[in-house]
């Protein structure tokens, strides 16, 4: 039986008394004191009670759902904006670079320094840039440090000759916590949200379960944001446009039973955990990792989905604190 000092599943614990790892305490024996600092613990991407992991399949439909879907494009087809190999000569998807323990940190200067976490950032020499080294798009750099259980995210990132970097904006996240950015602050994403938790990964799809919401884009958004988003990226005030942070889900009535395994895992996640509007872009473009383990032919099945297959949900009941991503079960 777990005692004090132990965190949610998937998190490293620090101190306290616990029963033997991997199961309940042995009959007739008291709790065992462990040197938990030496325990090899996995680093989950945010706690199980984080809003990215919230099941939204039973939440009510948002009263503005029809208008929001229409504004994004009811007839527009979904698009998995990730996969394996190259598209037009460049890798596609958002790459995640693993940070080795003890990685030296480097200076990063920001165009939007007032809303960026100053760093320095542990950027390896082999850090991958979205779209490749010569990309002219968002150029996200996503760093996952499992030893420290942190994520470092950069937008419009460019390396300098001296080893330092420059970027448009940057954010650092403690993956063991539920803290949100300051209200009104951007991040490496327009909505002021972390990018890493919204990316389906090939290993998740191979296991048959993507246990989180998925990041997506819409052509036009409102000059507004709703929890858990922290930032708007539009001057439009039309109420028919969705705000940043709006959550959508694939309708329960959509038949995904004949989808190939990778597409089915993602489609099921869209039904259970939904998708969070995080940036301006093409309609119903869903983000994922850049990974050669993706099967593009399988992912293409998602292109049969249309905007009319989705509905916006009212996720306000999940919120416990407007400044925290922790949510009601």
- Average pLDDT (167-182) is 98
In this structure, of 5-9, 198-202, 268-272, the range with the lowest mean pLDDT score is: 5-9
User: Is 239 within 8 Å of 63 (Cβ atoms)?
Assistant: no
In this structure, of 35-39, 52-56, 294-298, the range with the lowest mean pLDDT score is: 35-39
At 41 the pLDDT is 58
* Residue 267 banded pLDDT, cuts 50, 70, 90: very high
Percent of the chain exceeding pLDDT 70 equals: 88
Spatial separation of the C-alpha atoms in residues 211 and 199, rounded to whole Å:
11
Q: H-type helices in 60-138, by residue range?
A: 65-72
Looking at residue 150, the DSSP 8-state letter turns out to be E
Say whether pLDDT at 36 is over 50. Answer: no
* Residue 32 banded pLDDT, cuts 50, 70, 90: very low
Residue closest to 170 by CA, chosen among 159, 160, 156: 156
Phi, psi of 300 (to 5 degrees): -60, -20
Spatial separation of the C-alpha atoms in residues 41 and 35, rounded to whole Å:
12
- Average pLDDT (155-174) is 98
Spatial separation of the C-alpha atoms in residues 87 and 154, rounded to whole Å:
23
- Average pLDDT (42-61) is 97
* Residue 25 banded pLDDT, cuts 50, 70, 90: very low
Dihedral of CA 220/222/227/233: which sign?
Answer: positive
257: which residues sit within 8 A by CB, 6+ positions away? 264
User: Is 108 within 8 Å of 162 (Cβ atoms)?
Assistant: no
The residue ranking higher by pLDDT, 269 or 37, is 269
User: Is 204 within 8 Å of 197 (Cβ atoms)?
Assistant: no
The residue ranking higher by pLDDT, 42 or 31, is 42
Residue range 62-76, pLDDT digits in tens: 999 999 999 999 999
Q: What integer best gives the mean pLDDT of the chain?
A: 89
Say whether pLDDT at 39 is over 80. Answer: no
Say whether pLDDT at 12 is over 70. Answer: no
At 42 the pLDDT is 80
36: which residues sit within 8 A by CB, 6+ positions away? 5, 12, 13, 14, 15, 16, 18
* Residue 209 banded pLDDT, cuts 50, 70, 90: very high
Beta bridge partners of 92: none
Say whether pLDDT at 20 is over 70. Answer: no
Residue range 96-128, pLDDT digits in tens: 999 998 999 999 999 999 999 998 999 999 999
Residue range 243-254, pLDDT digits in tens: 999 999 999 999
Verify cis geometry, omega within 30 degrees of 0, for the bond prior to 321: no
Residue range 227-246, pLDDT digits in tens: 999 999 999 999 999 999 99
At 329 the pLDDT is 83
pTM to 2 decimal places: 0.88
């Amino acid at each position: 039986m777990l005692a004090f000092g132990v965190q949610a599943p998937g998190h490293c614990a620090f101190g306290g008394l616990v029963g033997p790892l991997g199961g309940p305490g042995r009959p007739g024996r008291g709790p065992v004191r462990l040197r938990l600092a030496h325990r090899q613990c996995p680093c989950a991407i945010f706690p199980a009670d984080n809003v990215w992991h919230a099941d939204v399949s039973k939440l009510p439909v948002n009263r503005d759902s029809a208008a929001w879907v229409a504004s994004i494009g009811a007839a527009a087809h979904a698009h998995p904006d990730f996969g394996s190999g190259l598209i037009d000569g460049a890798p596609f998807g958002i790459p995640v670079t693993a940070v080795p323990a003890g990685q030296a940190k480097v200076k990063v200067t920001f165009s939007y320094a007032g809303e960026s976490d100053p760093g320095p950032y542990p950027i390896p020499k082999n850090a991958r840039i979205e779209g490749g080294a010569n990309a002219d798009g968002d150029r996200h750099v996503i760093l996952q440090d499992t030893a420290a259980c942190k994520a470092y995210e950069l937008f419009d990132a460019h390396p300098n000759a001296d080893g330092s970097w420059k970027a448009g904006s940057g954010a650092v996240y403690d993956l063991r916590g539920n803290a949100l950015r300051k209200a009104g602050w951007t991040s490496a994403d327009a909505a002021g949200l972390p990018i890493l938790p919204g990316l389906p990964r090939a290993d998740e799809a191979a296991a048959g379960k993507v246990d989180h919401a998925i990041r997506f884009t819409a052509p036009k958004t409102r000059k507004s944001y709703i929890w858990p988003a922290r930032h708007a990226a539009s001057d439009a005030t039309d109420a028919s446009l969705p705000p940043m942070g709006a959550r959508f889900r694939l309708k329960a009535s959509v038949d995904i039973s004949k989808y190939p395994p990778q597409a089915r895992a993602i489609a099921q996640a869209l039904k259970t955990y939904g998708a969070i509007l995080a940036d301006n872009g093409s309609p119903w473009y869903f983000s994922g990792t850049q990974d050669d383990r993706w099967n593009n032919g399988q992912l293409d099945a998602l292109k049969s989905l249309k905007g009319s297959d989705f509905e916006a949900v009212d996720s306000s009941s999940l919120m416990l604190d407007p400044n925290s991503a922790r949510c009601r079960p």
